Amino acid sequence: MNIIIFGAPGVGKGTQAKILSQKLNILHISTGDILRDAIKNQTELGKKAKEIVDKGELVPDEIVGEIVKETIRSPKCKNGFILDGFPRNIHQAKILSSILNEISNSEPVIIKLVANDDVIVKRLSSRLICSKCGNILNENEVSDNFICPVCKAKNSYYRRSDDEESVIRKRLAIYHQTTAPVLDYYQNKARIIEVDGTLSIEDVTKEILNKLE
């Protein structure tokens, strides 16, 4: 099964992608992760991407698409994949359609997680992240001399600079302008499943699995 997970920043795409990857036995492809891996491993595409990143520029859609293509072609994706972070615009969606037509001649299932902007702002602006292991908690769960329940580090939780309200709203504006229209592209090309992203993590997963059946 090939899946693309969509939704605004902070709606829970990465969390659900990891869970679904395990439950469906398919690879979770985070485009940010595979891009960093390509650069770290100094692949040919990784070298090209690094040159661009080092200049402070964005990696072109075509290079990101080629890295995604390499990943989808790998044996790890023999059972399918769940794609998180790509496509982010219509140009990338067309690139992905070309890749899938070449490899599997099929369009993916689209999972759209929905949440109101104000809910997302409240969720993101109240989260804290462990600097040691990356675990995320709500600020209400963290107190003085707090010990991380995952890695046991002490006083390691902090708020990311991009979790300030003004930054979050700017990210949401970009999403609505460039990424949300991708769903229009897929209207007649793929099955689209819509799920309320404000539910608990467990309920969102349950809803997705029920609708996939």
Tokens of residue 77, six digits? 């994706």
Annotated catalytic residue 160: yes
Annotated catalytic residue 171: yes
Marked catalytic residue, from 160, 189, 191, 206: 160
| Orientation of helix 31-40 relative to helix 44-54, angle to 10° | 100
Of 114, 110, 116, nearest to 211 by C-alpha is 110
Of 100, 122, 118, 117, nearest to 109 by C-alpha is 100
Question: What one-letter code names the amino acid at 143?
Answer: S
Annotated catalytic residue 159: no
- Whole-number Å distance between alpha carbons of 195 and 213: 14
Marked catalytic residue, from 69, 112, 123, 171: 171
Annotated catalytic residue 88: yes
Marked catalytic residue, from 13, 48, 69, 123: 13
Q: Cite the active site residues.
A: 13, 88, 127, 160, 171
